[in-house]
Structure 1
Amino acid sequence: MRRLLDAPHRLCFAAAGLLLAVASLGWLALLAGPPGIASHWAVAPRHAHGLLMTLGFLPLYMAGFLFTAGPRWLQVPALPARRLLAPVAAMGAGWVVVLAGMPLEATFAAAGMASVAAGWSSLCLRLASLLCASRAADKAHAAAILAACSVGAAAMALAAVALATGHAAALDAAPPLALGGFVLPVFTAASHRMLPFFPRRSGGWLAAAVVVAWCGDAVVGAWRPATPWLADGVALAEAGVAAWLAVTAWRWWRRHGLPSRLVAMLFTGFAWLAVALALGAAAHLPGLPAGTARAALHALAMGHAGSLLIAMVTRITATHGGRSLAADGATLGLFLLLQAAAVARVAASLWPVAGTTLLPLAAALWAAAMTTWSVRCGAWLLQAGVRPLADAGQSLARNAPLPSCTTSSPDRP
């Protein structure tokens, strides 16, 4: 425990990795188990899955990243990990109660979800205190991330209320709200700040367009009285942003190539964003499978967020563990396993006939990749750190210098 309290990323990543492994193996067990195994659960398995995969491990990984890189962005002293112990413990204990309550009693799960919301809100307040204390010239990225984190807290509170009242519609709304208003903006803002793929001049507009297009589609999908022309307009906007992302990625790849494994992993996550938006636009076309919208959601969650999660967390964990090579052969193998899982899950939505085979396959590949990766990173977290926290805000692609891709941001290559 003393080792985990050496730095914020150690504490948060360890808690997140444990929850990621439990969620992945649990979902695989449900899909591979006998039919109807969860038919009498107090909380429907699809609701449990949606909450765990959006509001479970991801916020804890975000906290580890934000309280490591954030102080450097804001030019303020870093918070010691002990200041984060109480809220992280509240979130961890809350998820234990949620997991225990989902098969047995929904109000029990609601109490656990309330603890999760309280812990995350406390972390948001600590992040806000860093932002208020900062005198840095550029605080836009941190402010955008804090706003998105506040949406995450609202989604957690909504889930707690929905579990307590048995309101199925609100419980259905919590994961999409978390994904579009919380997860995507945090990943997009961090990527725009730290990765070289966004153009120097129009990158901010592209990042904002991604979030607006995805959230606009989610709002139109949830708003039953939405007129057809409004849905068609949102679909055109999504298609346009997807094309913008694809052209941006192609131009960057043509100019710089993929000079290292880590850059290739980050680039893959960036490309999945274009795929997700393209599928979201295609979901509005007549004649396509009804699961196309679900395919877009999993392309974003598994392909985009999952790829960037492995690349970014591995980079930080390896760097602070004294490893000069973050993306070694084992990491690359697990990353490719994740890609296979994402492709299988998207295909299961687009090809319903084969869904009974592809869905368990996707869950098995995901569980194998993410559980193994969590255990591997966990072992690194328990080793002595050799790098100062100030290095954590450096570009995640720094191990592959790109001299021709200079920008005004000190965090980029």
Structure 2
Amino acid sequence: MKAEIIAVGTEILLGEIVNSNAQVVAQLLARLGITAQYQTVVGDNPQRLTQVISAAERRSQIIFLIGGLGPTPDDLTKQTLATHLQVTLAQDPAAVAKLVAWHQQKQQPMPANNLAQADYLAGGEALTNSIGLAVGSYYATDEHFYFILPGPPREFKPMLMEQVQPRLSRLVGHQQVFVSEMARFFGIGESLMAEKLQDLIADQTNPTLATYLKHYEVGVRITAAAPTASAGTALIAPLLATVRQRLAPYYVGLGEDRTLPQEVLDLLRQQGATVTAAESLTGGAFQKMLTDLAGASEVFPGGWVTYANQVKAHLLGIAPTLIAEAGVVSAPVAQAMAERARQILDTDFALGFTGVAGPDELEGQAVGTTFIGLAQRHQPTQVVEFHFAGVRNEIRQRAALSGFKLLYDRLQEH
């Protein structure tokens, strides 16, 4: 059985967004043993979309259409396929109720065109959107099986796994489920990770193991096929334990959609602890990553961006003689920044960041040289020296995340 993936959206053709959804579908198809030989991107044009659908029908039995399910005039995927198949659209009552409730909560009138998000192909099945408002659609004929899914990845991925995967498994005759777990690591390159896991990768059968690089973290996804979800979890557990043991210094948690800052925030909340930061080269990146997360106000009272030396002295009370003698890019200054920040706000933890983001050297220190201080109430201050590669913003991002890793490791000790 062959499948084909059609991504709908002029914004993809213009390069405004990356077609990441097709990759996720392709990985699922590969796990199920379904051949996918073609992927197509087409703009928001009914005539061209119809041509692409017709071409896909000549080559494949399973056809995915991703995107174009919103309420705007250019969201025409369901309408175009319905016209092509000579069927009508029906409204899913649960989706209509969700739309009405959403607008009532916002205390806004609901435009009539919003109801289009509740449409699905009559005679088929509505695919529930657990995150957003636009339902998907599954429709089968004697020769083809059509899956219509939303474009936003945060809506697309849950629908794919919750609604599409079971139906695909039945189509190809699998009497089993697929269970996956993503272990995440920070501070190790993908090539070194692959080397440490080389024998596990070479010997894999069921479960399987694959590595991924995403947002400065490296993930290891372990997937098992089994008769039940609990049986799949049991298959995964020993391999997951081995991977975690081999890469223990770099481990930062489980879950494909989680991040290192989220892990740190959750640990701080669980332990009833607070943190602040004084940042120089990172320019507030650590504090932004933290405050981007809901619940940050419980653990973060505030902090400083002290770029200039005089501001370090004025706001944090760091002696100008210390900066003059040790240099602003130094372990003593990172230590003083962390300790003074913690003392001033009386937090449990504080981090101090100083370094050279580039593009030029500073005080004879190479670009990428970074010192991060971690102060803790009633504990000696830790200072770690790093040497990051990359351009300016990459260095800043790596530095901020390395601060999170230092704090993560310390919180794990409690």
Using structure 2 for the length normalisation, give the TM-score: 0.25
CA radius of gyration, larger in: 2
Q: Write 1 or 2 for the structure with the bigger share of strand.
A: 2
Which is bigger in relative contact order (C-alpha 8 A, separation at least 6)? 1
TM-score scaled by length of structure 1: 0.25
